[in-house]
A and B are shown apart, each in its own frame.
Chain A
């Protein structure tokens, strides 16, 4: 049975005969809080750091070569400012466009809009509960998935599936599996002494 509120691009991801048992999005509370934190961080950065650069070189008489280099720096600076100022919007859109879907066969995470989209699909049999962590009044569920990926340092990391920002009352609707608490998960994954 498909919930009527599921958008078309989510419905399109289902296989023939597959039925949704739960569908949800990261909590609005979490989206608002994290967007607010990013917004404040951006504003603080602009106030304390960028304001000093705004009037740099005003009134000075630079040579033609230095003016060229100045233009390159200005272009890079504008790209940087755009990335900074759009960060809160991008964070907000990420939360609003993310859907977590549990079907009778798979866990699916769909992020992005109609044009740019990422769909992560995990067969239920292949993942095992790793931990549940409470954060800012919401619950994050993490499953261990097979395989690994290389992080930015080149280290191998275990693949995981995460449902972030779930309302605590929804956890029991998503899965009947029991998740270790974060503290227990830390104990079980810490190296032997």
Chain B
């Protein structure tokens, strides 16, 4: 079991009194980055063509008249391209700020940053686990049941599930949670 005093103060302050931390983890940022590769592959030619169009709009003249006004079409496409190019970076930094926590009573999904977001799910409300694993990493996905009117369920209510995404050794965590649930009951 992990001692809660080694946790960042922002995370530690979210725990209930006498709550024992069993496991702390984060999504694998590199895996998340790789999962955005298709977007990047699409974004590079998209942005290149958009920028090429913009350059053509500013440099081409027809019968002595400048065609800069065509950039009105090119600008939104270029902006969208830049937005798509930023997706991998945003995903990477978002992932490095995400923390998963399993205690003897609850599971937490904590998002650190300027605004701290804490989702807290009592373990008895999580059923029917789906585990997807690949090369030692994987995802655990629980269905949420019970009192979904709780404020911290707002995000999970949109999807109906609680996800620990791209964590190391998901099977070990699954076994740990099962063992501790048995002892608890």
Asked if A192 is at the interface (CB within 8 A of a chain B CB), the reply is no
Is there an interface contact between A146 and B128, defined as CB atoms closer than 8 Å?
yes
Nearest neighbor of B41 in chain A, beta-carbon distance: A76
Distance in Å: Cβ of A63 to nearest Cβ of chain B: 14
Is there an interface contact between A122 and B128, defined as CB atoms closer than 8 Å?
yes
What is the CA–CA distance of A61 and B143 in the complex, to the nearest angstrom? 59
Interface residues contributed by chain A, number (CB under 8 Å): 20
Given contacts A126-B128, A145-B143, contact A115 B134 (CB under 8 A): yes
Interface of A (DSSP majority class): strand
Is there an interface contact between B134 and A116, defined as CB atoms closer than 8 Å?
yes
Partner of B178, one of A15, A126, A150: A15
The A13-55 residues at the B interface (CB cut-off 8 A) are 15
What is the CA–CA distance of A149 and B143 in the complex, to the nearest angstrom? 10
What is the CA–CA distance of A161 and B129 in the complex, to the nearest angstrom? 12
Is there an interface contact between B160 and A149, defined as CB atoms closer than 8 Å?
yes
A-B contact count (CB 8 A): 53
Best-surrounded residue of A15, A119, A120, A159 (most CB of chain B within 10 A): A119
Distance in Å: Cβ of A73 to nearest Cβ of chain B: 10
Is there an interface contact between B130 and A119, defined as CB atoms closer than 8 Å?
yes
Distance in Å: Cβ of A43 to nearest Cβ of chain B: 27
The A48-69 residues at the B interface (CB cut-off 8 A) are none
Q: Mark A123-145, 1 if CB is under 8 A from B, else 0.
A: 10010000000000000000001
What is the CA–CA distance of A159 and B159 in the complex, to the nearest angstrom? 11
Is there an interface contact between B145 and A72, defined as CB atoms closer than 8 Å?
no
Interface residues contributed by chain B, number (CB under 8 Å): 18
Is there an interface contact between B128 and A117, defined as CB atoms closer than 8 Å?
no
Q: Which residues of B contact A123 (CB under 8 A)?
A: 127-128
Asked if A4 is at the interface (CB within 8 A of a chain B CB), the reply is no
Q: Which residues of A contact B131 (CB under 8 A)?
A: 117-119, 121
What is the CA–CA distance of A72 and B48 in the complex, to the nearest angstrom? 13
Asked if A147 is at the interface (CB within 8 A of a chain B CB), the reply is yes
Asked if A80 is at the interface (CB within 8 A of a chain B CB), the reply is no
Is there an interface contact between B132 and A147, defined as CB atoms closer than 8 Å?
no
B interface with A by C-beta (< 8 Å): 45, 127-135, 143-145, 158-161, 178
Lowest 7 CB-CB distances: which A-B pairs, in order?
Answer: A147-B143, A147-B160, A116-B134, A148-B160, A119-B131, A118-B132, A120-B130
Given contacts A126-B145, A146-B145, A150-B159, 6 further A-B pairs with CB under 8 A are: A119-B130, A123-B128, A126-B128, A146-B127, A148-B160, A150-B158
A interface with B by C-beta (< 8 Å): 15, 72, 115-123, 126, 145-150, 156, 159
